[in-house]
A and B are shown apart, each in its own frame.
With several copies, the nearest count.
Chain A
Amino acid sequence: MRYIPNSDIDRKQMLAGIGVTSIDELFSGIPEKLRLRRFLDLPKPLTEPELVDYFQTRAAKNSVGETAFIGAGIYRHYIPIIIDALISRSEFYTAYTPYQAEIAQGTLQAIFEFQTYIAQLTGMEVANASLYDGATGVAEAILMAQRISKKHKFLIAKTVHPEYRAVVDTYARNLGIQIELIDYAADGRVDMEKLEQQSSADVAAVIVQSPNFFGAIEHTHDISELVHRRGGLSIVNVCEAISLGILKPPGQDPSEQRTADIVVGEGQSFGVAPSFGGPHVGFLATRERYVRQMPGRLVGMARDYAGKSGFVLTLSTREQHIRREKATSNICTNQSLCALMATIYLATVGPKALREIAEHNILKTDYAANEITKRTRHRVMFPAPRFNEFVVEVSGECPYGLPLSRFYPELGNAALVCVTETARRKDIDAMVQRLAA
């Protein structure tokens, strides 16, 4: 086998060195009766040329060429080529978790930079080294808020990504957590009146998403203020990270009352491929005072004993390998390489192009929604300002976007349409034309 260096000759020498005559003897610890007495029933081994053929054939069976205008948490943004060139270096992608700081400074510094970028973008004080994805990120944020508040009731907007809410349900179910939904208003945003009504003193935290699942931009600062007034924590989920390039971040406001306590989200939009759903990269940012309640790894600045400065994994007493069942989370392996992609993405686009990209998303989405309104008989729902998605009510099946009936049966035949900067006007026009037909 080409991935196994030792040949028969090597093996014989090693067996002799050990003082046994066959490899089988080394398995003496496994009781005979538990041994498999046949070969596994697997496809016959393929050579490299055959593997290439196998996977190219399967890849060709996914039709990804044509824009489908689907977003819903996974966005097709342009990915600068240098990202793949850099993360393809063995130094990055084949290294382990940087527990041995002296020979992992590259990874450590990059994660520190990721943490800083996320803090800057969300307007928060600190961010962690990544979580599995946005969905588990929201779940972790809820567990974190439970630890901080010692309260167990959570209000979650119905316009938070339905799969995220499903994951929250799975995580929360056995931890005495009670979840209540907040409905959306006619404009597609959180219904502030209902929120006000539901925000009782026993509410640990309120979770909203902005831009929300319908693409609408929430008034997260007003929400944070309201929640804080009621003694709860404010958790904001950002599924479409590009929006942070132009929208006022949940963590930024002159008044601490109006800022979120935890901003959690999905960083896939920052240079990570859709890849049929993963791997992507969750992030979680918070206030400095909650650091010791954070889930996941953290990299901090450090010095060696001679005073030279560098980086190291720190505050690991929160983590499972030290605290075991008392850890803030069970997470171990995280999404480091995707965090690196996001870091390189942010370094490459910088604040200006990030804002321009965000603008193009807004303008193209606005254009698409207006064109559909103007030129088709379909209704674009929810008037609230949008980032790069909107809901359109169609008659019959919509050949674009995500049908919403599975998640929001009350919306009937609606579809969630996403328009990013990668959609060319001619693609949008073609969609409008087809919808008009």
Chain B
Amino acid sequence: MTGSARTSNHFSLNEPVIFEEGSPGRRGFDLPELDVPARALNDIIEPGLIRDGITGMPELSEVDVVRHFIRLSTWNYHIDLGLYPLGSCTMKYNPKINERMARLEGFALAHPYLPSERIQGALEIQKTLETCLAEISGMDAVTLQPAAGAHGELTGILMIRAYHESRGNPRKKILIPDSAHGTNPASAAISGYIVETVPSNKRGTVDLDRLAELVNKDVAAIMITNPNTLGVFESDIAKVAELLHSQGALVYMDGANLNAMMGITRPGDFGVDVLHINLHKTFTTPHGGGGPGSGPVAVKEILEPYLPYPVIGQNSQSDYFFDNDRPQSIGKIKAYNGHFGMHVRALCYILANGAEGLKEVSEIAVLNANYIREKLKKAYALAYESPTLHEVVFSDRLQARKDVHVWDIGKRLIDYGFHPPTVSFPLIVPGAIMIEPTETESKQELDSFIDAMLTIAKEAEENPEIVKTAPHTTRIGRIDEAAAARRPVLRWRPD
């Protein structure tokens, strides 16, 4: 058996790279006739500055282009097709209304340099979103400028640095738990800090004793993810914050997992000084095949002076404006003021839910994850026994006895019509299988996933080969990634 009751085989069309298509003279676009006097270009620009042509760029009709990308699209798995249980990624349904609203002409064509009286609508959207995010996270001020989660981390750490500098010493180190996402240490490093790793205890949370040993006046902050990447709530978080604060250090929270706690607990209420929020996770802006995202940063009052500029001000007539006069600001982290298109979508989602709706989101996200945990915990080894919230991490320990590893299990899931979970992360779990279903999955979809996982566990026992060579039902088989990296071919060239 190579397929499942959930899938059938059907042909899909092949398609070469676009550079091998078309033919000279085809056109996909026509420009209105020039309505100003034509002048010879050479009279305007030195001929040496003009290019000859663009080697290799294909000429295509509109039909060619449409067919090309339509065919490519059919090779992708996507959230509208089925469960996408990538742990830490919060792959939830992206409401269609978000897309429509972001495309309204008044938004799509707005330019941030227009005089403020011509952009009141956009500024109101941004300000309202800031206010909502501050309330959800329990913080005092928000910047929408960062482009994604990692960018938010950098922004937040730079603000921490500015804060310490304003007190005379930027300090040297950022503490990061060993379960953290790779962007955490990377962001700390670009901020000019040394990274020190905090080990986890056997509950999967920060080891308080070891932390106590590490915290000193050299420490600028801890970067902590809560609930952490195991889906476990850092129950000592208040103590962690106390410990850091007692040494003048701050607490940065990676808010990637906010989907577990909206309306239930707030970072601002458990000692966090600054966090970033991934609008492309919790707030349903689409992942777009890798981006764009949006990573607003929320801070406590003490950090407010350091926010990137502009911040959105309101004058005495209640008109909004971009306030660039921010002497203590860390500066700009990105041109203009962030991914406005994502802000519209996120606000649309927040307004659709309201307070009760967002709480329900977190509740059902946690319910769905625990349902999977319960149903799979006999067949797969739980990484930690601690209660988990919106995601659950197993290890491949039981399957590894038959030399079936997490990667194999993921690939085999494809044959059952599912996207694999996050694999091999967090790093502290050998053979981690990290499953986050989100609240937008139905019981039927979860049951079907559970069935597939149980079947695979059985296959791993009885027929490990079929798992190890999976997937068997895709248009291309498992890729030899090592070979690809050995001689990278990063662009098309004519033969």
- Give the interface residue-count category, chain A: 35 or more
Stretch touching chain A among B87-95, B297-305, B455-463: B87-95
With A58-B106, A84-B103, A333-B149: A133-B54 Cβ-Cβ less than 8 Å: no
| Closest residue on chain A to residue B481 by CB atoms | A312
Stretch touching chain A among B242-250, B361-369, B398-406: B361-369
Q: How far is the CB of A214 from chain B (nearest CB, A)?
A: 15
Q: Are B388 and A275 in contact (CB under 8 A)?
A: no
Stretch touching chain B among A148-156, A191-199, A226-234, A294-302: A294-302
Asked if B380 CB lies within 8 Å of chain A CBs, one says no
| Closest residue on chain A to residue B233 by CB atoms | A29
**In the complex, which residues of chain A have a beta carbon less than 8 angstroms from the beta carbon of B410?**
100
Q: Are B111 and A274 in contact (CB under 8 A)?
A: yes
8 Å CB interface, A1-59 against B: 1-11, 13-15, 17-20, 23, 26-31, 33-36, 39-52, 54-59
**In the complex, which residues of chain A have a beta carbon less than 8 angstroms from the beta carbon of B219?**
none
**In the complex, which residues of chain A have a beta carbon less than 8 angstroms from the beta carbon of B474?**
102-103
Stretch touching chain B among A75-83, A178-186, A201-209, A372-380: A75-83
Q: Would you give the 0/1 interface string for B289-300, flagging 1 where the beta carbon is closer than 8 Å to chain A? A: 111111000000
**In the complex, which residues of chain B have a beta carbon less than 8 angstroms from the beta carbon of A121?**
54, 57
Q: How far is the CB of B389 from chain A (nearest CB, A)?
A: 7
Q: Are B332 and A166 in contact (CB under 8 A)?
A: yes
Asked if A252 CB lies within 8 Å of chain B CBs, one says yes
Q: Would you give the 0/1 interface string for B92-115, flagging 1 where the beta carbon is closer than 8 Å to chain A? A: 111111011111111111111110
Which of A107, A327, A350: most chain B Cβ within 10 A? A350
With A300-B490, A332-B150: A350-B332 Cβ-Cβ less than 8 Å: no
Q: Are B56 and A40 in contact (CB under 8 A)?
A: no
- Report the separation of the CA atoms of residues A205 and B367 in the bound assembly, to the nearest whole angstrom: 54
8 Å CB interface, A318-371 against B: 319-327, 329-338, 340, 343-344, 346-354, 356-357, 359-360, 362-364, 366-367
Asked if A430 CB lies within 8 Å of chain B CBs, one says no
**In the complex, which residues of chain A have a beta carbon less than 8 angstroms from the beta carbon of B348?**
51, 55
Q: 26 A-B Cβ contacts within 8 A?
A: A2-B30, A5-B23, A7-B26, A17-B371, A20-B370, A31-B238, A45-B352, A62-B106, A62-B118, A68-B118, A86-B65, A102-B478, A276-B107, A276-B122, A278-B339, A278-B340, A301-B489, A303-B480, A327-B186, A330-B151, A330-B183, A334-B292, A336-B292, A353-B31, A360-B31, A425-B36
Q: Are B364 and A6 in contact (CB under 8 A)?
A: yes
8 Å CB interface, A102-121 against B: 102-107, 109-113, 115-117, 119-121
8 Å CB interface, B30-73 against A: 30-32, 34-39, 41, 44-46, 48-66, 68-70, 72-73
Q: Are B491 and A336 in contact (CB under 8 A)?
A: no
Asked if B379 CB lies within 8 Å of chain A CBs, one says no
With A279-B342, A314-B481: A51-B352 Cβ-Cβ less than 8 Å: yes
- Report the separation of the CA atoms of residues A247 and B263 in the bound assembly, to the nearest whole angstrom: 41
Q: Are B186 and A320 in contact (CB under 8 A)?
A: yes
Number of interface residues of B (CB under 8 A): 216
Asked if B214 CB lies within 8 Å of chain A CBs, one says no
Asked if A90 CB lies within 8 Å of chain B CBs, one says yes
Extra A-B contacts (6), CB below 8 Å, given A72-B113, A336-B289:
A43-B351, A52-B101, A58-B121, A81-B100, A89-B73, A132-B292
**In the complex, which residues of chain B have a beta carbon less than 8 angstroms from the beta carbon of A334?**
148, 290-292
- Report the separation of the CA atoms of residues A360 and B478 in the bound assembly, to the nearest whole angstrom: 48
Partner of A275 from B110, B237, B261, B330 at Cβ < 8 Å: B110
Q: Are A335 and B291 in contact (CB under 8 A)?
A: yes
Q: Are B290 and A129 in contact (CB under 8 A)?
A: yes
- Report the separation of the CA atoms of residues A36 and B156 in the bound assembly, to the nearest whole angstrom: 25
With A26-B367, A35-B265, A335-B292: A102-B73 Cβ-Cβ less than 8 Å: no
Q: Are B121 and A166 in contact (CB under 8 A)?
A: no
Task: Give the top 9 A-B pairs by smallest Cβ distance, nearest first.
Answer: A277-B336, A174-B192, A59-B106, A337-B288, A7-B25, A45-B354, A61-B121, A336-B290, A279-B292
Asked if A424 CB lies within 8 Å of chain B CBs, one says yes
With A112-B17, A329-B186: A49-B61 Cβ-Cβ less than 8 Å: no
- Report the separation of the CA atoms of residues A10 and B441 in the bound assembly, to the nearest whole angstrom: 11
Asked if B269 CB lies within 8 Å of chain A CBs, one says yes
Asked if B212 CB lies within 8 Å of chain A CBs, one says no
Asked if A255 CB lies within 8 Å of chain B CBs, one says no
With A55-B348, A363-B34: A135-B335 Cβ-Cβ less than 8 Å: yes
Asked if B202 CB lies within 8 Å of chain A CBs, one says no
Which of B62, B324, B386, B411: most chain A Cβ within 10 A? B62
Asked if A91 CB lies within 8 Å of chain B CBs, one says yes
